[in-house]
Amino acid sequence: MRLVKYDLDAFGTGHVFEREHVYAKKKTKYQSIEIARLDYLGKVLVLDNIIQLSTLDCDRYHETFAHVPMSCLQTPTRVLILGGGDGILAKELLKYDVVIDLVDIDKYVCELSDIHLRDMNDASLTDRRVNVYNLDALEYCSEVEHKYDVIFADITDPHPESPSRSLLSKQAIGLYKSLLTEQGIFVTQVDNVQIAPEHRKNVQRTLRLNFNQVGEFAIAALTLSGLFGFVWASDTTTVKPNKIAVPTNWLNHERSMFCFNLLRLALGDNDE
């Protein structure tokens, strides 16, 4: 075991954990991948030396991401995940009667997660209702003919070397909107709102150019070093706290309300 520094951004900010075991390490044409066990966090997926998820905070991140928007729709039938090759968001969405299209450019994230993260993703990547495409997300979205009730951008943080850096541009958002149903929702993670405050604000500005309604919710997670945000957009559906009708380990109605109030209460006058 040894102490290892993991990054929080592309500028050298980081945090240190004791690494207890390495399950897999691989350098692909897109990024570096590590699956390991750390003190406090448990099993983690690390991309480009940035921790993406952990056993500790897996439920609060993925349940909130999935069920907050899904609880606002009556009968969703098809959803799209951009990124999400770890399969955990797909696991949560399989709790609904939906077909899931998952587009992750790096096939090795999917392959290694299917081997080493099955205790967290319940083998969702091999479920018959999940269609996995190892393609560029914009290429896929330019050619697909399906309409989606929700599009989830479960992508890596768009630092300069990230394969996801172009996926939240004005052009990309317009493309995603064209794939949504009339009541459809687009939702994306926007990183730690204190470490990368401009990312959240930039995404909101871009979404307001395309959608009638834009809002946000958040969680607090050790894995993600504090306040971690999500931004949603829709023309006709308002995303708000609702009863969670599927089984969950962490999320309930009270915590859903907490997620919608967290940023206002935590940031206060500093959120400018």
Any idea which residues carry the catalytic annotation? 154
- 130-148 per-residue burial string, b: 16 or more CB within 10 A, e: under 16: bebbbeebbebbeeeeeeb
Burial 194-221 (b: 16+ CB within 10 A, else e): bbbbebbeebbebbeebbeebbbbbbeb
Sheet holding 226-234, edge to edge: 130-133, 99-103, 78-83, 148-154, 180-192, 226-234, 213-221
- Give the Cα separation of 142 and 187 in Å (integer): 19
Phi and psi at 204, nearest 5°, equal -60, -45
Q: Is 55 helix (H, G, I), strand (E, B) or coil?
A: coil
What's the one-letter identity of residue 76?
A: P
- CA separation for the pair 14, 110 (Å, rounded): 26
Distance CA 53, CA 45 (A): 6
Q: Say which amino acid occupies 271.
A: D
| Secondary structure of residue 13 in the 3-state scheme | coil
Give just the sign of the alpha carbon dihedral 39, 45, 46, 51. negative
Q: Tokens at residue 209, please? A: 């150019």
